[in-house]
Amino acid sequence: MSIQFEFRAPEPQTPEQQLAQDISLVMQAAIEQYHAGEIADAETLFVAILESMPHHPDANYNLGVIKVQNSRAVEAITHFEVALGSIPNNGQYWVAYINALFEIDQIAAGWTAVEIAQQQGVRGPAHDGLIPHSSRNPQTRLRTTPVAPANAAQEINLIVGEVAQPAEPAPDKAATLPKSIKYRQPTPSEINKHSSLVQKGQLGEALAYARRLVKNYPQSGDCWRSLTISLHKDGQFQEVIKTAKTAIEYNPSDTICRLLLADTLCYIGALTEAEVQCRELVALVLDHAEAHRVLAVTLGSLGRRAEALASLLRSSELAPRAAAVHSSLGTLYLGMGAMVQAEKSLRISPDIDPTDANKRSNLLFCLAHSRTIDKATLIKEHRAFGELHDVSAPAGGRRYGNDRNPERKLRVGFVSGDCVITRWLTTCCRSSRI
């Protein structure tokens, strides 16, 4: 945790540019899910986009197409009307809208829409499709690629088929030396001693030593960083906020303290300030995978799921072998109801880090809510969890006072806050071994 980053910060994006980039990334993911046959997950992602941009024309159009395919043409009408309100001369929108009207037997409205489309100047193949066939087959084709917002060529870096030009580096505004240079500094061996204590798991000693460092070198950003790390590992989060901000004052480019500060702010629910810290960190280090992950968790807590998903997709590209990234991605998908994608992501996480019980527990939680998994497989997954993570009592150690009669009446206690089957199965499996 002692890596230093020494480069100039790029020109930050405006909030509008960032949102456009996020929406484009999620749009592409949704269309990929559609063409992979995961229609329900694709619909979930389009809904997430509309939560952030309710009038996004392509998201409304694509969601409308899916609803028509799923025999929900009445619901689709509103989406097509919103799309046409934004781009009234789009022939493909008109074809889908008119066919949806005929699908729900709104014949007069359909012919009226044909006339309006012609008045809007719709021509070419789209125009030919405006005259409904006698079979009245609904339009069911989605776009193969997302359509970028206006001026996206200059604003969006992640659209497939476009090569983004690197941003011009911002002028170096930090012409003066950091505050810590003006004062007596600790020796490298003193800082390394703290790092060694942390790595050995001697957290109490590490915390006490870090406090001595700050007392001896109160103007050293490195010492304040050491204290911040120890406090964070010790769970003293209110104090982490104070020490991390002090460390950043002495060294504004301290990525470690900014990350710990953002993570702590998110944990205690100070989500707006956490987002600010995450974005400042991303501006310092564009390819900081963990910063994108913490930003995603923050945005998800704020209810901005499309932006959260975009950040997690970036994070997974930057750190494809980071278990925490896939766990967070799976948890977000689970909250969005994209169960297939949730299970895929949550299976990757324990494969990377088999020793982490929490990440495998998240997978079990997902499987317990799956509508496709059978009971035998579900029990097998729970037994596998027990074999990996249950700690058996030593022989002759703890004794249980319950009746060992197999005909006894079982008393099962629910531990989980929402009483889902995950804890119930774990409890039963444990009871059967007592």
DSSP 60-128: HHHHHHHHHHTT-HHHHHHHHHHHHHH-TT-HHHHHHHHHHHHHTT-HHHHHHHHHHHHHTT--THHHH
For residue 372, give Cα distances in angstroms to 36, 58, 202, 223, 375.
18, 31, 46, 53, 10
CA distance 306 to 290: 18
- Residue 175 above 70 pLDDT? no
Q: Where are the chain's structural domains?
A: 15-145, 188-366, 378-386+407-434
CA distance 95 to 73: 13
53 by Cβ neighbours in 10 Å (0-12 / 13-18 / 19+) ranks as middle
Q: Which of 308, 321, 376 is nearest to 351 (CA)?
A: 321
- Residue 345 above 60 pLDDT? yes
**Three-state secondary structure call for residue 390:** coil
Share of the chain above pLDDT 70, in %: 76
CA distance 282 to 274: 12
CA distance 17 to 156: 7
Q: What is the chain's alpha carbon radius of gyration, rounded to the nearest angstrom? A: 28
- Residue 163 above 50 pLDDT? no
pLDDT band at 387, cuts 50/70/90? confident
DSSP 388: H
Would you state the CATH architecture of domain 15-145? Alpha Horseshoe (1.25)
pTM over 0.95: no
Q: What is the pLDDT of residues 97-143, one digit of tens each?
A: 888 888 888 888 878 878 787 777 776 555 555 554 433 444 433 33
- State the average pLDDT over residues 324-346: 91
Statement: 188-366 belongs to CATH 1.25.40.10: yes
Mean pLDDT of the chain: 78
Q: What is the pLDDT of residues 279-307, one digit of tens each?
A: 999 988 889 999 999 999 999 999 999 99
CA distance 277 to 75: 40
Q: What is the pLDDT of residues 47-95, one digit of tens each?
A: 999 988 899 999 999 999 999 988 899 999 999 999 988 888 888 888 8
pLDDT of res. 223: 94
Fold match flag (15-145 vs 188-366): yes
CA distance 260 to 237: 10
pLDDT band at 400, cuts 50/70/90? low
- What angle do the packed helices 255-268 and 271-284 form, to 10 degrees? 160
